[in-house]
Amino acid sequence: MSARVPLPRWVDVALLPVLNVMLAFLIGGIVVMLVGQNPLDAVGIMIYGAFGYGSGFGYTLYYTTDFIFAGLAVSLAYQAGLFNIGPEGQAYVAGLGVILVALALNGLPWLVTVPAMIVAGGLFGAAWAFIPGYLQAKRGSHIVITTILFNFIAVSMMGYIISKHLKPDGVNSDESAPIDAISRVPQLNVFWDLFKHSPVNISFILALLALVGVYWLVWRTKFGFAMRVLGQNPTAARYAGISNSRMIMITMALAGAMAGMVAVNNVGGVQGRLILNFVSGAGFVGVAVAFMGKGHPFGVALSALLFGALYQGGQELAFSMPGITREMIVTIQALVILFTGAMGDMLRPPLERVFFKPPDNSSAEGG
């Protein structure tokens, strides 16, 4: 085996992910076939459900919003070499910040409450991510372990706070008091009838801004440069006079703030109240989104859209095809995560063989 030759860029960023997704669908199709349904019909229903009509597309964009924020929370930290598995918990705790300011300002128009919710959600999410950041920077506790554990702490803590303190009397399920309609993050169907009866809201636009913002921060600022240096070589970063521990803490806080926007979307917008476990896995999907998107905002946007379509299309499939159960939908989604995330490089060696051009031949012929 000679030294590995890097793949052409378009193969690396476009062809490889597309092949991975197709492979996942192929195996998912076999699963669908095994239960006696037509896999092509299933794909058709999923695409129709995700993009075919207004409210379905609205749901796709709603899920996409969550996945963009969670994906950015992972990507941002990853640029600094930190593997943040905690967006789930960070978003959950951010929900507390969102609901506290929203209820305090309840009744005021959304132009006042929404910025307050963004700030509060960002601060709470940042605080929850800052602690693992601090423990990594000052105590050397590995960020992967601490962020995972902080997800569990968040679940217990929030469960306690919601059921014992935020729950109003006379309400059966565990949830906070509702935010008045006027103070919620406005849904896009207020402006576009197309999205009628779908939960997509202004947070989606916030997500698009966040994509641009993260790109600018990471690749166009001095801070972003320091972050990337730290990510690629901590020793070089220290030698260049960058305070690694300070960078780790700030980056984690920023990542947590990003995850906190998931709470603005759900608590402030869709549900209009804080319910138990509202994040429902979006934070973990964010890890897959970030890796499929190679940590770049553009890639994150595309893979978030893919997962959003998978979630909404999956719901449509469960509704339309009686033989398809919830578990099968999860299986198909898991296959996509498996092939694009965990086994994302499986097809790399064969592709490298396909695109490998022997160097001596090319120099002789090409001149």
Partner 1 sequence: MTLTKFTSAIAGGVALSAILAGTAFADPALIYDGGGKFDKSFNESAYNGAEMYKKETGNSYSDLEITGDAQREQAIRQFATKGFSPIIIPGFSWATALTTVAPDFPDTHFVIIDSVVDLPNVRSVVFKEQEGSYLVGILAAMKSESGKIGVVPAFNFDLLEAFACGYKEGAKSVNPDIDVLETYVGAGFEAFNDPGKATEVTKSQLDQGVDVVFQVAGGAGAGVLQAASDAGKFGIGVDSNQNYLHPGHVLTSMVKRVDVAAYNAMMDEMNGTWSAGTVVLGLAEEGVGAAFDENNADLITPEMKAAVDDATAKIISGDIVVHDYREDKACPV
The Cα angle at residue 291 between residues 352 and 21, in degrees rounded to 5 = 65
Options 115, 319, 342, 349; binder of partner 1; rule CB under 8 A: 319
315's CB contacts (< 8 A; 6+ apart) are: 49, 59, 329
Options 128, 278, 291, 339; binder of partner 1; rule CB under 8 A: 278
Nearest residue (CB) to partner 1, 252 versus 267: 267
- Answer yes or no: are the C-beta atoms of 337 and 289 closer than 8 Å: no
Taking the C-alpha atoms of residue 91 and residue 75, their distance in angstroms, rounded to an integer, is 15
Q: What secondary structure letter does DSSP report for 183?
A: G
Q: Quote the least distance from Cβ 285 to partner 1, whole Å.
A: 11
* Of 102-110, 126-134, 253-261, 320-328: span binding partner 1 (CB under 8 A): 320-328
Nearest residue (CB) to partner 1, 273 versus 296: 273
Residue written as token pair 């964010």: 286
Q: Quote the least distance from Cβ 145 to partner 1, whole Å.
A: 21
Nearest to 227 by CA among 212, 240, 211, 209: 240
Taking the C-alpha atoms of residue 339 and residue 100, their distance in angstroms, rounded to an integer, is 40
Q: What secondary structure letter does DSSP report for 268?
A: I
Options 44, 234, 281, 341; binder of partner 1; rule CB under 8 A: 281
Q: Quote the least distance from Cβ 69 to partner 1, whole Å.
A: 15
Q: Quote the least distance from Cβ 62 to partner 1, whole Å.
A: 7
Task: Report if residue 274 touches partner 1, rule: CB under 8 A.
Answer: no
127's CB contacts (< 8 A; 6+ apart) are: 93, 253, 256
**Residues lying near partner 1 in the complex (CB under 8 A):** 55, 59, 62, 155-156, 158-160, 163, 172-175, 178, 197, 199, 266, 270-271, 273, 275-278, 280-281, 311, 314-315, 318-319, 322, 325-326, 329-330
